[in-house]
Chains A and B, each alone.
Chain A
Amino acid sequence: ELKVEQNPLFLSMQEGKNYTIYCNYSTTSDRLYWYRQDPGKSLESLFVLLSNGAVKQEGRLMASLDTKARLSTLHITAAVHDLSATYFCAVGLSGAGSYQLTFGKGTKLSVIP
């Protein structure tokens, strides 16, 4: 069974600071997604990482993937209040004739002015 663990689950940080969210997974996978969810809203796709060493950046967010360590990171640079949201990683795995995503529990980020 694929297990996906994110940490921290809660993160309160000041504007302008840097921080990293970690996503560990238990089984070899060929892709990893990061999603953002604003309170009471749906999930929005941020990044998809397909290979070892993959790095993607958008604005103040940068995601990377280390398939050997089964680890992805989401790095936040110089946080601003607008980044306050819950961030989920999701890991893909084939099984029983289909391809599924397993989601982590999410990291609730609060950026304090």
Chain B
Amino acid sequence: NAGVTQTPKFRILKIGQSMTLQCTQDMNHNYMYWYRQDPGMGLKLIYYSVGAGITDKGEVPNGYNVSRSTTEDFPLRLELAAPSQTSVYFCASSYFSLSSYNSPLHFGNGTRLTVT
């Protein structure tokens, strides 16, 4: 199994450009998440999904959009990129809700995004 796969690994955007960060998982997990990690900081939740067709905002959703048309895929779209969105983005998944017994997150390898 590949687990959680993110593409691209690196990307440089100019201010105002748009892009989509791809995330796919092959573990048949219901729950998927997007986090961003700024230098020297913990991860902050951008959006999450509890199943196909259902998404919800996390702690820092402004400037981002998501969709969940299939169980496997959870793309994150940046519209009108800004320097404040320079960060490392991690997609993660879990089979059960995080409130269930022993349901840790499985993370992808991250996308390093720079907006200049």
Q: Give the segment of A57-65, A67-75, A77-85, A100-108 that binds chain B.
A: A100-108
Q: Which of B66-116 contact A (CB under 8 A)?
A: 90, 97-99, 101-102, 104-110
Contact of A48 among B42, B56, B102, B109 (CB under 8 A): B102
A50–B97 CB distance below 8 A? no
Is B42 in contact with A103, judged by CB distance below 8 angstroms? yes
A105 touches B41 (CB 8 A): yes
Partner of A101, one of B40, B50, B56, B105: B105
Interface size class of A (residues with CB under 8 A): 20 to 34
What are 25 A-B contacts with C-beta separation under 8 Å? A33-B104, A33-B105, A42-B90, A42-B107, A43-B43, A44-B107, A48-B104, A50-B102, A88-B42, A90-B42, A90-B43, A92-B99, A98-B48, A99-B97, A99-B98, A100-B45, A100-B58, A100-B59, A101-B98, A103-B43, A104-B42, A105-B41, A105-B42, A106-B40, A106-B41
Q: Are A42 and B102 in contact (CB under 8 A)?
A: no
CA distance A12 to B56 in the complex (A): 40
Q: Mark A31-45, 1 if CB is under 8 A from B, else 0.
A: 001000000011111
Total interface residues on B, using CB and 8 Å?
24
* Interface contact tally, CB-CB below 8 A: 56
Report Cα–Cα, A64/B19, bound state, in Å: 42
Q: Which residues of A contact B (CB under 8 A)?
A: 4, 9, 30, 33, 41-45, 48, 50, 88, 90, 92, 94, 98-106
Are B42 and A4 in contact, CB atoms less than 8 angstroms apart? yes
Q: Are A92 and B41 in contact (CB under 8 A)?
A: no
Is B108 a contact of A45 with CB atoms below 8 Å? no
| Cβ–Cβ contact B98 & A100, under 8 A | yes
Say whether, besides A92-B99, A100-B58, A101-B98, A45 and B42 are in contact (CB < 8 Å): no
